[in-house]
Amino acid sequence: MSRTPLDDCFDHCERLTKRTAGNFYYSFLGLPLPQYRAMCALYAFMRVTDDWGDDPGQTIAQRIASLESWQCSLSNALRPEWTPLEMAGWSEEARMVLPAMRDVAIRFTIPHEHLFAVIDGVRSDLSEIPDLVRSTDNLARRESSSGRESGDGQECLSSSAERTCRFQTFDELSQYCYLVAGAVGLCCIHIWGFHGDESVRRAIDCGTAFQLTNILRDVGEDADAGRIYLPAEDLTQFAVTIEDLKAHRYDEHFRSLMAFEVERAKTFYDSAEQLLTNLEPLGQPIMKAMLQLYGGLLHEIERRKFDVFSRHVSLPRWRKIWIATVALIHQKLRRH
């Protein structure tokens, strides 16, 4: 059978996934070819989207423009009447990834809004101008210090958090989690196959669990970069300031805050585990592997008594390889 340009696109996505997805790539190998290619295309789409948002060689405005161009190309590719002849003017990444993503969206009936949500989530990370973040953070430090000295600490803690935190409430944070993770989960379950009306909610909860784990693991690194993802209402409740996070202040206030957030994340993991019963058999091993990887990180944070400042929280390489290998074996057994 002769090769087609679409085959070249899927091959490109596979190479990109194999090069950058780490152990997740090996958990894809036991899938039937259509689902395997689809997972590589979805990963490549997410990888390129993230790269547009994180490109250190571009200004914030240039990154936003790149994401808008990427979204425009995606929108064109998803039109029913689209043909490859319309790729003139597309970036190299768009020409190699989006035709494959279009084929996957059609084959597995992935709602287009899930793909656009991923782009919206990355773009939302660029909404804060670093200079503004630094200036408001300096103001918050002055207010926090002044408040503690004058006896109006709680009021100023609240004011400080509101001026510098990206999200005021957990509802706002959960919407962000949907954009950057929940929408991806919804794409995955369409590829794997699912049943039951509750599957959508559980897939979104799964994405929230994973994203909360990332946020808790990276509290210090994000604070250093001027990004505070924890809700202002939570910081105020536990008397933790932006300055505390930037200074990596590991005290009882911080531990109480982290314990609260970990317990919250566990409730979403409970819902995510119930998603397993809604998945077709071939998707269950991948889902289990992801739950073990991210759940393992959350357990490690708890085991360290929430000290995410002294060193980066991660799982041993042997454990990640073991999880991926077990997923691969289970998939092959289910196929036979």
pLDDT digits (tens, 9 = 90+) for 82-117: 999 999 889 999 999 999 999 999 999 999 999 999
Beta bridge partners of 194: 279
Q: Residue 336's pLDDT is what? A: 57
Residue 67, pLDDT > 90, answer yes
Cβ contact 294:210 at 8 Å: yes
Which residue did the predictor score with more confidence, 329 or 74?
A: 74
Q: Residue 151's pLDDT is what? A: 42
312-321 pLDDT, tens digit each: 988 777 677 7
Please enumerate in sequence order all residues whose Cβ is within 8 A of that of 280, keeping only pairs 6 or more positions apart, or say none.
192, 193, 194, 195
Helices 60-77, 33-54: crossing angle, 10 deg rounding: 150
Q: Residue 140's pLDDT is what? A: 34
Q: Residue 164's pLDDT is what? A: 72
What is the rounded CA–CA span in Å between residue 240 and residue 261?
Answer: 13
Reported as a pLDDT band with limits 50, 70 and 90, residue 1 is low
Distance (Å) of CA 20 to CA 24, 48, 314, 322: 9, 11, 17, 18
Reported as a pLDDT band with limits 50, 70 and 90, residue 332 is low
Which residues make up the CATH 1.10.600.10 domain(s) of the chain? 129-336
Residues of the chain above pLDDT 90, percent: 71
275-307 pLDDT, tens digit each: 999 999 988 988 998 899 999 999 999 999 999
Reported as a pLDDT band with limits 50, 70 and 90, residue 325 is confident
Closest among 24, 59, 106 to 291, alpha carbons compared: 24
Which residue did the predictor score with more confidence, 1 or 31?
A: 31
What is the rounded CA–CA span in Å between residue 213 and residue 320?
Answer: 16
Would you give the distance in Å from CA 116 to the centre of its chain? Answer: 14
Neighbours of 200 (CB within 10 A): 16
Identity (one letter) of the amino acid at 40? C
Q: Residue 10's pLDDT is what? A: 97
What is the rounded CA–CA span in Å between residue 213 and residue 161?
Answer: 21
242-251 pLDDT, tens digit each: 999 999 999 9
Residue 34, pLDDT > 60, answer yes
Tokens of 166: 């990206």
Least confident of 41-55, 127-141, 196-210: 127-141
Distance (Å) of CA 151 to CA 12, 143, 146, 155, 157: 61, 12, 9, 9, 11
Reported as a pLDDT band with limits 50, 70 and 90, residue 271 is very high
Least confident of 26-35, 118-127, 139-148, 318-327: 139-148
Reported as a pLDDT band with limits 50, 70 and 90, residue 26 is confident
| CATH homologous superfamily for the domain 129-336 | Farnesyl Diphosphate Synthase (1.10.600.10)
Tokens of 80: 């029913």
Which residue did the predictor score with more confidence, 161 or 124?
A: 124
Would you give the distance in Å from CA 92 to the centre of its chain? Answer: 24
Residue 139, pLDDT > 90, answer no
